[in-house]
Chain A
């Protein structure tokens, strides 16, 4: 079935460092891809999405590009802040499917 694999954490960075979280997927057809973020004590919220190959999603300084040739959707941010400390989830939705499949999540901690 469709699935998402993301890099294991935890990841600890200093402020202004570059962040990348790898995400690869397995799916038939052309899924839509998402990154969700979970701040401490809260539910998940959508960070960005891409619905077709070569689309780039972006929000709050984060970017991810839908790469069909490598079945990847890596998340990047050029200069992280302490407020970016959270758990990040990669997710996939197959065409005409009501459901999302989530990766295991990557915990990111940014130190001042």
Chain B
């Protein structure tokens, strides 16, 4: 019953450092998403993917990159970390059936100082 697994759970970065947030799902879902959650701001979509080899920008893609080489994995890359990227990051996936629910990971809490 793994579902959506995110690693790491917590991370502290210095300004200018880079890192990759990992996300993997074992439900064979075509659609995968990265959101960031800031206090009082809800969830903002960073990037999404409708299948292996296909990615698209969401509302707030600047400063991030993604890849989708397999159905299971959807890593999020921060190349030059900035304080504005301090947030909680959630990966989610869902089946291709219309209105199927999103399945979320437990999040990665990132602090950039």
Q: How far is the CA of A51 from the CA of B31 in the complex (A)?
A: 19
Give residues in B with beta carbon < 8 Å to A.
4, 31, 33, 35, 40-43, 45, 48, 50, 58, 90, 92, 98-99, 101-102, 104-107
Q: Does A17 contact B (CB under 8 A)?
A: no
- Residue with the greatest number of chain A CB neighbours at <10 A, chosen from B4, B58, B98: B98
- What distance in Å separates the Cβ of B93 from its nearest Cβ neighbour in chain A? 11
Q: How far is the CA of A98 from the CA of B8 in the complex (A)?
A: 27
Indicate which residue in A36, A51, A102, A103 contacts B99 across the interface (CB closer than 8 Å).
Answer: A51
Contact, CB under 8 Å: B4 / A49:
no
With A49-B99, A93-B99, A99-B58 given, is the CB distance from A44 to B104 under 8 Å?
yes
Q: How far is the CA of A43 from the CA of B33 in the complex (A)?
A: 13
Contact, CB under 8 Å: B104 / A43:
yes
Give residues in A with beta carbon < 8 Å to B.
32, 34, 36, 41-46, 49, 51, 89, 93, 96, 98-100, 102-105
Indicate which residue in A34, A36, A42, A103 contacts B106 across the interface (CB closer than 8 Å).
Answer: A42
Chain B residue numbers with a CB within 8 Å of A41 are: 106
Q: How far is the CA of A100 from the CA of B32 in the complex (A)?
A: 12
Contact, CB under 8 Å: A89 / B43:
yes
Q: How far is the CA of A42 from the CA of B90 in the complex (A)?
A: 10
With A46-B101, A46-B102, A93-B99 given, is the CB distance from A98 to B107 under 8 Å?
no
Contact, CB under 8 Å: A104 / B31:
no
With A98-B31, A98-B48, A99-B33 given, is the CB distance from A44 to B102 under 8 Å?
yes
Q: How far is the CA of A41 from the CA of B108 in the complex (A)?
A: 10
Q: How far is the CA of A43 from the CA of B107 in the complex (A)?
A: 6
With A98-B31, A100-B102 given, is the CB distance from A43 to B48 under 8 Å?
no
Q: How far is the CA of A79 from the CA of B92 in the complex (A)?
A: 31
